[in-house]
Copies of this chain bind each other. A is one copy, B any other.
Amino acid sequence: MSEFDLIRKHLTGIGARRDDVVVDLGDDCAVLRVPHGRELAVSIDTLVAGVHFLPDCDAESLGWKSLAVGLSDLAATGAEPAWATLALTLPAADEAWLAAFCRGFAELAAAQDVRLVGGDLTRGPLTISVQVHGFVPAGHALRRAGARPGDLVCVSGALGDAGLALRHLQRGEPLDDYLRRRLERPVPRVELGELLRGLASAAIDLSDGLVADLGHILAASGCAAWVELDRLPLADQVAGVVAGQAAGGADWGLPLASGDDYELCFTLPPEHAAELSVLAAAARCPITRIGEVVPGSGLRLLTSDGHPWAGTVAGYDHFHG
């Protein structure tokens, strides 16, 4: 099968049917309609074998995750997902692999009302670039900048699950269903992102770990924050690992810096504090208040007695990690 045949067979018709797709996948360009009064939010991300996922990773899960990573960026912007494009570089024309990858991608696309409108297939080392496109009401995109002293620092879901799952896989240890799902099938917090428009003062998605990503909010907003470690929302499995290291001081690396969480971190003006539980119910995900924005710069990690935490962690860095 040629490149064109593979595209036609596997990449065509993926995801939801949408009236705003004028020219679908298969022409030189897709042609698309952005609704009047909406702005277009776009984000492109690449996953590389051996860097972002294990080379023997299940293809179907990888298809799901490739789209989830982008949708998580749309969520952090408060955007409603609409379209995706996929540039897939494969070592060989492995149809079974491609079919499985597309199944996973299509499953999440259909669930989030996303259409795959563009696809490029090339030969080379396994690399996946996905661009997502969504809509926000004009002037209402959530940004990293905007946090103000006094705002609450909040996160959705739980932190460190994917990092722990990866650690188990790398050590050849068994993986329970919860951790596997959190690593391989993250569910982007799209509903929460849309609900946060007009409420949150700043938002980001947690792809590189809380320390790095909250750091981006603080740098963009020109503020500092404190976060209390004991408030971090942890699944039992992660809490066990954190506590298990108590001899040498608790190991907070997983929830603070292991990355791949795809939860949202956001800052909320204190007048909206009372709405947190309603927000969590409406978005159908846990939301935890973990700290507060203060004047200054940088992130201070506090122990439960309010003292500065003595440990250190580093955010994941693709070039130096």
Contacts and interface: CB of A to CB of B under 8 A. Distances in A.
Number of copies: 2
A127 B23 CA distance: 27
A28 B319 contact: no
A45 interface: yes
Interface stretch (A31-39, A227-235, A269-277, A294-302): A31-39
Given A124-B50, A319-B6, A77 B41 contact: no
* Most B-side CB within 10 Å, residue of A49, A120, A204: A120
A28 B45 contact: no
A47 B125 CA distance: 12
Contacts of A124: 46, 48-51, 125, 127
Interface string A199-214: 0000111000000000
Contact of A73 (B28, B121, B139, B141): B28
A282 interface: no
Interface in A59-101: 73-74, 76-77, 79, 83, 85-87, 89, 92-93
A29 B43 contact: yes
* Most B-side CB within 10 Å, residue of A33, A41, A46: A46
A136 interface: yes
Given A39-B22, A39-B33, A46 B129 contact: yes
A171 interface: no
Contact of A77 (B31, B76, B86, B220): B31
Interface residues of A, number: 72
A120 B44 contact: yes
A51 B123 contact: yes
A144 interface: yes
Given A48-B122, A317-B3, A318-B122, A42 B29 contact: yes
A29 B41 contact: yes
B28 A76 contact: yes
A289 interface: no
A30 B77 CA distance: 9
Given A50-B124, A118-B131, 17 more contacts: A22-B139, A22-B141, A23-B77, A27-B77, A28-B43, A28-B205, A29-B76, A29-B141, A34-B34, A44-B118, A44-B119, A44-B120, A48-B127, A51-B122, A93-B320, A121-B318, A123-B319
Interface of A: 1-4, 6, 22-23, 27-34, 36, 39-52, 73-74, 76-77, 79, 83, 85-87, 89, 92-93, 117-125, 127, 129, 131, 133-134, 136, 138-139, 141, 143-145, 203-205, 216, 220, 317-320
